[in-house]
Amino acid sequence: MNPTGHPIDAYHIPGLDDADVLHWDIREYDDGAVRLRIPVLAPATLERLLQRLREARRHYLATTPVLELTRAIDQAAALFMEPDHPVRALAEAALPAVTGYSPAMIRLVLDRMAADWREPALHALLEAELGDPRVLDSFQEWPAGRSVGSAAGGSTGSSTGGDTVPHDERGRGAAAPVRVRAFGPELAFHIFAGNVPGVAVTSLIRSLLVKAATLGKTASGEPLLPALFAQILAQISPALGECLAVTYWPGGDQPLEEVALRAADAVIVYGGGEAVAAIRSRLPVGTRLIEHGPRLSLAVVAREELTTLAARRVAAEVARAAAVFDQQGCVSPHVVYLERGGEVAPEHFAELVAEEMRRVEAELPRGRLTTAEAATIQQVRGAAEFRAIAGREVRVLASAGTEYTVIYDAEPGFTASCLNRVLRITPLDDLSDLVRHLEPYGAFLQTVGLAAPAARRALLADALGRVGVSRITTLSAMPWPPPAWHHDGQEPLRELLRWVDLEG
């Protein structure tokens, strides 16, 4: 990055004229090593551009087969995976400064995220949720072509009585064939939060797949990658690029947000409870709202997995799950629950995790912290040391700097981490006690990385699901949900859709 050079354009706004730009918001990172440029617009300008976006949708998106869209998106994604492509190089060079993540972390996240934007992943998503993706293009037989196994089981089922009703069922008085078609919103408005790169791009892609003209308002923590993706997509498919806009304005900018909230048919909002609530309260009646509020995750290890042989591997998986995204992802574990009675004692396992945290640091260094974040880690460590002094069974296993902190606390309780690789490890007499500890937090739980024998896994999954957990997976898969996952227990495509039944 040349500090004296031209700043990077962190926006993609089709139809934007120079005259529309009130002034440029130049955002500097790393003492000016990376500079981003974002146009500041008047509300009336945004209104006009959103109208234009809608019209572009009518001309192109609304009439283009979904599989043509997945092809264009795939081509854009491929460029982000090409090590030598300028856009990949730009992302790799600028994102560490913009997001605070280390270069190694950015490379890993780009690779993993971009894989989810490739055609196979997109097709898997479409098929998992819709059965036949062509319902987005024209009327299709319903529920023909849907294998029971891939049925997503949504509440928007057809008039024949649900997904599990065999196609050829007789005797319900509904012999006439039904065909269905799904329409996405004409204009979807996404409000992003956080600094995990790629999350926003995934959300924009879902919206394009359902053929919505799409406006993404980026987060101050990561305003760049969604804009780069939109720019590349527009190069590959100019017509598709006309239907997508990405830009940034400071959250809470009422006049601009009012315009976007009024114009949108669906609003997808990410972020903290208060930010989400604020948007909800300002939404016009009838606008569909999809919320991705704050979520947190945890890891659980059954005693059968705590063998002398397996403990090191399990510890490495735990350490890596906490290290990816520097623990800032909703999929990142805050607490590890260990069941007592295994070959390896919980306290010893905590030591193994600390060792593995050190190893991960070498390969995947933690990012830059703000002064306040580092200060908080020091406080958390200090408080834990005093718990030990006060006679509780607590140990602090930490790096010399703030790189990682493992706190072993024999008192099982759930505590949200201050993040940035501060992991609490706590024992349980039996996994069946877990639900009691998690119950109060049910609304905020997302992923449980669970290492347990199959039979116990199934039993516990049931209990965890009841509490509010929306994803149970292996420790190593924690950071990387499959493309077709039920994100926060929802169906990211179907919840954007409106279904039309054509009977007879």
Partner 1 sequence: MAILDIEGRTLAAELVQLFGLGVEHVLDDAAFNDLALRVFAYQFQHNQPYAAYARLRGRTPGEIAHWSQIPVVPTAAFKEVALVSGDAAAAEAVFRTSGTTRGTERRGEHYLPDLALYHASLLPNFAAHLLPDGAELPILSLLPPASEMPDSSLAHMIEVVIDRLGAPGSGSYATVERGIDEAALGAALRGYEEAGTPVCLLGTSFAFVHWTDALRERGERFQLAPGSRLMDTGGFKGRSREVDADELRATYGELLGIPENFLVNEYGMAEMCSQFYDNVLRDNVLRDQVALHGKIEEPDREVAQRDQVNEFDQEVALRDLPQGEPASSRPRPRQKVAPPWVRTVVVDPETLEAMPPGELGILRHYDLANLGSVIGVQTEDLGRAVEGGFLLLGRAAGAPPRGCSIATDLLLEAVAGHPQ
Residue range at the interface with partner 1 (CB under 8 A); choices 162-170, 178-186, 239-247, 416-424: 416-424
- Among 387, 437, 456, 498, which residue interacts with partner 1 (rule: CB under 8 A)? 387
Q: Is 416 in the site for partner 1 (CB under 8 A)?
A: yes
**Looking only at residues 83 through 112 of this chain, which bind partner 1 when binding is defined by CB under 8 A?**
100
Please write down the long-range contacts of 165-168, taking CB distance under 8 Å and 24 or more positions apart: 167/143
Residue range at the interface with partner 1 (CB under 8 A); choices 46-54, 160-168, 183-191, 266-274: 266-274
Build a one-symbol-per-residue string for 16-45: x at contacts with partner 1 by CB under 8 A, - elsewhere. ------------------------------
Q: Which is nearer to partner 1, 199 or 232 (CB)?
A: 199
Half-sphere exposure of 137 (CA within 13 A, CB side): 10
Please write down the long-range contacts of 407-414, taking CB distance under 8 Å and 24 or more positions apart: 407/380, 407/381, 408/346, 408/347, 408/350, 409/384, 410/346, 410/347, 412/337, 412/437, 413/437, 414/298, 414/334, 414/335, 414/438, 414/440, 414/441
Q: Which is nearer to partner 1, 181 or 487 (CB)?
A: 487
Which among 430, 428, 465, 473 has a CA at the least distance from the CA of 448? 473
Q: Which is nearer to partner 1, 106 or 380 (CB)?
A: 380
Alpha-carbon distance of 388 to 382, in angstroms, equals 10
Find out whether the peptide bond into 223 is cis, omega within 30 degrees of 0: no
- Among 237, 402, 426, 447, which residue interacts with partner 1 (rule: CB under 8 A)? 402
Q: What is the CA radius of gyration of the chain?
A: 24
Q: Which is nearer to partner 1, 241 or 329 (CB)?
A: 329
Q: Tokens for 409?
A: 């606390």
* DSSP string over 263-295: H-SEEEEES-HHHHHHHHHHPPTT-EEEEE---
Residue range at the interface with partner 1 (CB under 8 A); choices 21-29, 68-76, 269-277, 404-412: 269-277
**Looking only at residues 420 through 439 of this chain, which bind partner 1 when binding is defined by CB under 8 A?**
439
Q: Is 214 in the site for partner 1 (CB under 8 A)?
A: no
Residue range at the interface with partner 1 (CB under 8 A); choices 17-25, 134-142, 187-195, 478-486: 187-195
Q: Which is nearer to partner 1, 29 or 270 (CB)?
A: 270
- Among 443, 458, 500, 502, which residue interacts with partner 1 (rule: CB under 8 A)? 443
Q: Which is nearer to partner 1, 418 or 435 (CB)?
A: 418
Alpha-carbon distance of 460 to 441, in angstroms, equals 17
Q: Which is nearer to partner 1, 178 or 324 (CB)?
A: 324
Q: Is 499 in the site for partner 1 (CB under 8 A)?
A: no
Greatest Cα pair distance in the chain: 76
CB of 132 to partner 1, least distance (A): 32
Residue range at the interface with partner 1 (CB under 8 A); choices 23-31, 85-93, 409-417, 452-460: 409-417
- Residue 476, burial from CB neighbour count under 10 angstroms (0-12, 13-18, 19+): middle
Q: Is 375 in the site for partner 1 (CB under 8 A)?
A: yes
Residue range at the interface with partner 1 (CB under 8 A); choices 56-64, 178-186, 382-390, 426-434: 382-390
Q: Tokens for 98?
A: 């913009």
Rounded-to-10 torsion of CA 46, 48, 53, 56: -160
CB of 250 to partner 1, least distance (A): 14
Residue 422 CA to its chain's centroid (Å): 21
- Among 76, 193, 267, 276, which residue interacts with partner 1 (rule: CB under 8 A)? 193
Alpha-carbon distance of 191 to 287, in angstroms, equals 14
**Looking only at residues 313 through 352 of this chain, which bind partner 1 when binding is defined by CB under 8 A?**
325-330, 332, 334
Q: Which is nearer to partner 1, 171 or 413 (CB)?
A: 413
Residue 55: CB atoms within 10 A of its CB come to: 14
Q: Which is nearer to partner 1, 304 or 385 (CB)?
A: 385
Q: Is 223 in the site for partner 1 (CB under 8 A)?
A: no
CB of 409 to partner 1, least distance (A): 12
Q: Is 376 in the site for partner 1 (CB under 8 A)?
A: yes
> In the block, which residue shows the tokens 């006060």?
390
Q: Is 291 in the site for partner 1 (CB under 8 A)?
A: no
Half-sphere exposure of 454 (CA within 13 A, CB side): 0
Half-sphere exposure of 434 (CA within 13 A, CB side): 31
Which among 228, 281, 280 has a CA at the least distance from the CA of 85? 228
CB of 368 to partner 1, least distance (A): 10
Instruction: Tell me the site size for partner 1, rule CB under 8 A.
Output: 55
Query: What b/e string do you get for 8-39 counting C-beta neighbours within 10 Å, with b at 16 or more?
Result: bbbbbbbbbeeebbeeebebebeeeebbbebb
Catalog residues that contact partner 1 under the rule CB under 8 A: 100, 193-196, 199, 221, 270-273, 292, 294-296, 325-330, 332, 334, 369-383, 385-387, 389-390, 401-402, 415-419, 439-441, 443-444
